[in-house]
A = this chain, B = another copy of it.
Amino acid sequence: MSKKLDQATQTLKTPRSRRSNGNGLSSTTIMDVAREAGVSYATVSRVVNNKEYVKSDTRERVLKAITSLGYVVNQQARSLAGGRSYAVGLLVRDLGSSYMGEIVKGIDDALSAAQYNLMLYTTHRRKIKERIYVNNLIQGMTDGLLLVLPENLEAYLETLDQTQFPYVLIDHQGLDERTPVVITTNWQGGYDATRYLIELGHRRIGFITGMMDMLSSQDRLSGYQAALRDHGLPVDPQLVYEGTFYQPGGYSGAQSLLRLPEPPTAIFASNDVMAFGVMEAVRDAGLRIPSDISVIGFDNIAQASQVAPPLTTVAQPLEQLGREAVRMLLVRMNNPEQPIERSILPTTLIIRQSCDVPRNV
């Protein structure tokens, strides 16, 4: 009580119109808290930002005032004054897939743990938008940028690098070794799945690629080819169908593979969604999985364990991909001098029931 400063000491200059954040009630500011706690606004700021040099009982008094008034810092003001917005931009193509869903979940968890906000930008595959967004973002809207499967990186990666704006690519190899990325062992995943099929006894294994302009697609294919070679099997281009990462691609790919004079006994699709298409095509052809044809996917999305038979697939740690990207981004944001990291997370073969020994062996 006695310590409380005279209320008059900190008279607010009459404000233009007692700020009312665009809507109803006026929000409590750092000044209100200061008055309530009987300290200066600078001290409140120090408490809020966990700065040193605040006496512990002062700190508590301020904290109490904060809760009692329900004070929340105004990010825009903080950003303007301090140069950080406490927001991170996320640039994605779209959000409909559980692939994206899981990555975003990881990002989101890690980010909110670090008290950051997330600004979402979806390009819907319109190339122009990417560049526009990136320009906006680095103009102070966000402190960092996360790009999932960016499409025309060349158009703005240079800008990003020049301005030293912190960013991390997710599931994209970047343009060179100096790009900070989080990726998975696509090659190894392709290799492992193929080897598994070979070890089951398969000799003719069909492969449905993803979009071939993506390095991850190329890597999965190379892994597949390497496994064949390592086991002395021929690499037959007839067995490779160029897919799209979407379900119809898997369906038509399987149809075309099954129509071959000497059809494969197993089909490896470059993602789960296409594997579902494969499963449908196989069934429509009157064949059974896995007795007639083995099917294997890539990604291990949630649905993979729910279809019948449950899909054997190569798990990508998608959620962890997001989490790791955030970790790296925070490091870069707080420590621009740190050398650039590239994080490679391991894929794992998840064996379920969609693969079996080939019929005629």
Interface residues of A (CB under 8 A from B): 19-25, 27, 70, 72, 74-77, 79-80, 83-85, 87, 90, 94-98, 100-102, 104-105, 108-109, 112, 117-122, 124, 129, 135-136, 138-141, 143, 162-166, 247-248, 251, 277, 280, 283-284, 302-303, 306-308, 333, 336
Kindly identify which residue among B84, B90, B120, B121 contacts A90, using a CB–CB cutoff of 8 Å: B120
Tell me if B136 and A72 are in contact (CB < 8 A).
Answer: yes
Task: Using CB atoms, name the residue of chain B closest to A306.
Answer: B247
Tell me if B165 and A24 are in contact (CB < 8 A).
Answer: yes
Tell me if B302 and A280 are in contact (CB < 8 A).
Answer: no
Task: Using CB atoms, name the residue of chain B closest to A248.
Answer: B306
Residues of B within 8 A of A165 (CB): 23-24
Task: Using CB atoms, name the residue of chain B closest to A136.
Answer: B72
CB-defined A-B contacts under 8 Å, sample of 26: A20-B83, A21-B140, A22-B83, A23-B166, A24-B165, A25-B162, A25-B163, A74-B140, A75-B140, A75-B141, A76-B77, A76-B80, A77-B80, A90-B120, A94-B105, A95-B95, A95-B101, A95-B104, A97-B101, A104-B122, A105-B124, A108-B124, A118-B120, A118-B121, A119-B120, A277-B306
Tell me if B85 and A95 are in contact (CB < 8 A).
Answer: no
Tell me if B90 and A95 are in contact (CB < 8 A).
Answer: no
Tell me if B22 and A84 are in contact (CB < 8 A).
Answer: yes
Task: Using CB atoms, name the residue of chain B closest to A118.
Answer: B120
Task: Using CB atoms, name the residue of chain B closest to A96.
Answer: B101
A-B pairs, top 5 by smallest CB distance, nearest first, are: A96-B101, A24-B164, A96-B98, A76-B76, A120-B120
Task: Using CB atoms, name the residue of chain B closest to A17.
Answer: B83
When A74-B140, A118-B119, A306-B277 are in contact, do A23 and B95 touch as well, CB less than 8 Å? no
Residues of B within 8 A of A80 (CB): 74, 76-77, 80
Residues of B within 8 A of A303 (CB): 247
Q: How far is A288 from B326 in the complex, measured between Cα atoms in Å?
A: 47
Given A23-B166, A108-B122, A284-B308, 5 more pairs with CB closer than 8 A:
A72-B135, A76-B76, A96-B98, A97-B101, A108-B124
Residues of B within 8 A of A307 (CB): 280
A19 to chain B, nearest CB (A): 7
Kindly identify which residue among B101, B102, B108, B280 contacts A120, using a CB–CB cutoff of 8 Å: B108
Q: How far is A85 from B21 in the complex, measured between Cα atoms in Å?
A: 9
Kindly identify which residue among B83, B117, B163 contacts A141, using a CB–CB cutoff of 8 Å: B117
Residues of B within 8 A of A136 (CB): 72
Residues of B within 8 A of A70 (CB): 135
Q: How far is A24 from B75 in the complex, measured between Cα atoms in Å?
A: 21
Q: How far is A283 from B279 in the complex, measured between Cα atoms in Å?
A: 13
A307 to chain B, nearest CB (A): 7
